[in-house]
Amino acid sequence: MKPYTSLKSILAEFFPLHRTLASDDQDKTLEIVGSYMPDTSNYTIENYKPLDPAWTWKVPERYVVHEAYLEILGGERVVDFKDNPLHIVSYSPPVDKVLAFEELQPHLYFNEKRPHAVPWMFKYYDRDWGFCMSKNAFDKLPRDGKFHAVIKSEFVTDPMRGFKLATAVIHPQGGPTPEAGEMIVQAHTCHPMQANDDGAGVVSTIELARRLAENPLPPGSMGVRFWFGPETIGTIVYLSHNENLIPSLRGGIFMEMTGNRNKIAWHHSRQRDHLLDRIAKYVVKNVQHEERSFADYPPNDERVMNGPGVNVPTISINRWPYDEYHTTDDNLDIIHDEMLSDAAAVAERVVRIFASNYVPKRTFRGPVFLSGNGLWVDWQENFALNRAIEKIMMRFEGEHSVFDIADQVGLDYWMVREYVEKFRAKGFVIPLPIPSEAQAA
Ligand SMILES: [Zn+2]
């Protein structure tokens, strides 16, 4: 695990690369991400064979661009892929044509609102070629000129140079607890040369992994799985090839756009009022934030994770909106270290509660003899907990999780958990895992 000076410095290392669904620079990005992940997390890059079925989709081919540019015939070069990968529409098929302006125009993209910036466009499945440029550059193109459009690209299906994504798992103190299941944290890695969407979410996720490795979750907690790969299709490929994993996933967080200066926003799970939603609400209650519905803009991989036939409750954390979105203005200038780490801290608090939570089920009959078992709480030491003892003890019927009990008695989760753990240590309650809501088909 490499040391780093700041999260922004990690982002700067992979920011300029030509990341897309599958590309050599996507491989490099996954390597860089792995170099900063904790050694104990068993970070693994997986390779999938292009064109293999993935539920109703197919594993994408690798996209290779040898050269791409647009020139005014007999004049200057208007845009060059070498200068910025955003200059071509992602997954443009090859082209080598001389065209009049009218023929070229349907293949040109610019952003009216940000005339100096180059927009990012992708046509992964339409396979139509195109160039992206600033509105200012577009306005200067001679309307009576001829243009030479060149894209030397290839769609590679070699199974050894396939479609890649990466996973890692951080176990709680004392090792894995398979019966507790896992939580999954995702960030996507497919946006070429853009910083906030999606590099920022990636480095906030790395920070979360490092915090959980340095200060592991209590024994018996869920494992936390980390996932990096291309948006939507990456999660579809992963889950369709690892269906046996789905029932063990108890909840998820998707993170992106965490580096710009804006308040935290969180999106509910599809379940809307799941335990995970209630925990997220609890965590952000003293932080300036915005709350949104499931799949509200900007929707991401939670649509797959929490979608049909999977249904793992998944929330999303971001700092949307920001004006530089999907343009060359989404660069390191708009990224702030404290925003990146504050977002990681919010996710960390959600993970720590959700993954360490369980449902206590009593083994005792009658009120427990507290002082005889070292369970008495002196009112002079903790008045609030002293007043709540009976209420807590009445809620060990296997219906309420520790978080819900804390919420119902109006006390801090960690205080109540520490107290319930004392009952557990005495064998007075057994911990039932948080149930899975995942669908098996
Ligand atoms: Zn995006």
Domain for residue 254, yes or no? yes
Nearest to 289 by CA among 268, 314, 313: 268
Same domain, 347 and 378: no
Nearest to 196 by CA among 22, 87, 23, 323: 323
Domain for residue 2, yes or no? no
Is residue 84 within 8 Å of 25, Cβ to Cβ? no
Same domain, 305 and 174: yes
- Report the separation in Å between the CA atom of 11 and the middle of ligand 1, taken as the mean of its atom positions: 16
Domain for residue 178, yes or no? yes
Is the pLDDT at 1 greater than 90? The verdict is no
Q: What is the rounded average pLDDT of the residues 288-316?
A: 97
Domain for residue 378, yes or no? yes
- Report the separation in Å between the CA atom of 315 and the middle of ligand 1, taken as the mean of its atom positions: 17
Q: Return the pLDDT at 365.
A: 98
- Report the separation in Å between the CA atom of 211 and the middle of ligand 1, taken as the mean of its atom positions: 26
Q: Return the pLDDT at 135.
A: 98
Domain for residue 1, yes or no? no
The conformation of residue 382, written as its DSSP 8-state character, comes to -
Q: Which amino acid is at 138?
A: F
Q: What is the CATH number of the domain that holds 52?
A: 3.40.630.10
Domain for residue 23, yes or no? yes
Same domain, 178 and 147: no
Q: What is the rounded average pLDDT of the residues 110-131?
A: 97
Q: What is the CATH number of the domain that holds 76?
A: 3.50.30.90
Domain for residue 108, yes or no? yes
Q: What is the rounded average pLDDT of the residues 302-309?
A: 98
* Burial grade of 55 (CB within 10 A; 0-12, 13-18, 19 or more): middle
Q: Return the pLDDT at 358.
A: 98
- Report the separation in Å between the CA atom of 256 and the middle of ligand 1, taken as the mean of its atom positions: 9
Average pLDDT, the chain: 98
Q: Return the pLDDT at 319.
A: 98
Q: 96 forms bridges with which residues in the sheet?
A: 150
- Report the separation in Å between the CA atom of 260 and the middle of ligand 1, taken as the mean of its atom positions: 14
Torsion angles phi and psi, residue 362, rounded to 5: -75, 150
- Report the separation in Å between the CA atom of 14 and the middle of ligand 1, taken as the mean of its atom positions: 16
Q: Return the pLDDT at 134.
A: 98
- Report the separation in Å between the CA atom of 371 and the middle of ligand 1, taken as the mean of its atom positions: 58
Is residue 189 within 8 Å of 30, Cβ to Cβ? yes
pLDDT in tens, 227-251: 999 999 999 999 999 999 999 999 9
Torsion angles phi and psi, residue 227, rounded to 5: -140, 130
Same domain, 256 and 221: yes
Same domain, 275 and 188: yes
Q: Return the pLDDT at 85.
A: 98
With H, G, I as helix, E, B as strand and everything else as coil, classify residue 286: coil
Q: Give the whole-angstrom CA distance, residue 246 versus residue 304.
A: 12
> Strand locations in 116-200, DSSP E?
131-132, 146-156, 163-170, 182-188
Which of 156, 187, 203 terminates a domain? The answer is 156
Is the pLDDT at 34 greater than 90? The verdict is yes
With H, G, I as helix, E, B as strand and everything else as coil, classify residue 37: coil
Same domain, 138 and 271: no
Same domain, 46 and 173: yes
Nearest to 402 by CA among 356, 370, 437, 367: 356
pLDDT in tens, 392-401: 999 999 999 9
Same domain, 350 and 294: yes
Same domain, 339 and 234: yes
Domain for residue 128, yes or no? yes
Nearest to 109 by CA among 133, 85, 92, 126: 133
Is residue 377 within 8 Å of 389, Cβ to Cβ? yes
Q: Tell me the HSE value of 322 on the side-chain side, using a 13 A CA sphere.
A: 28
Confidence of residue 441 (pLDDT cuts 50, 70, 90): very high
Q: Give the whole-angstrom CA distance, residue 401 versus residue 416.
A: 11
Domain count, the chain: 3
Which of 156, 191, 226 terminates a domain? The answer is 156
- Report the separation in Å between the CA atom of 190 and the middle of ligand 1, taken as the mean of its atom positions: 9
Q: What is the span of the domain harbouring residue 377?
A: 359-432
- Report the separation in Å between the CA atom of 48 and the middle of ligand 1, taken as the mean of its atom positions: 23
- Report the separation in Å between the CA atom of 198 and the middle of ligand 1, taken as the mean of its atom positions: 7
Same domain, 140 and 205: no
Same domain, 311 and 377: no
- Report the separation in Å between the CA atom of 191 and the middle of ligand 1, taken as the mean of its atom positions: 7
Which of 156, 186, 213 terminates a domain? The answer is 156
- Report the separation in Å between the CA atom of 21 and the middle of ligand 1, taken as the mean of its atom positions: 12
Same domain, 305 and 330: yes
* Burial grade of 260 (CB within 10 A; 0-12, 13-18, 19 or more): buried
pTM for this entry: 0.98
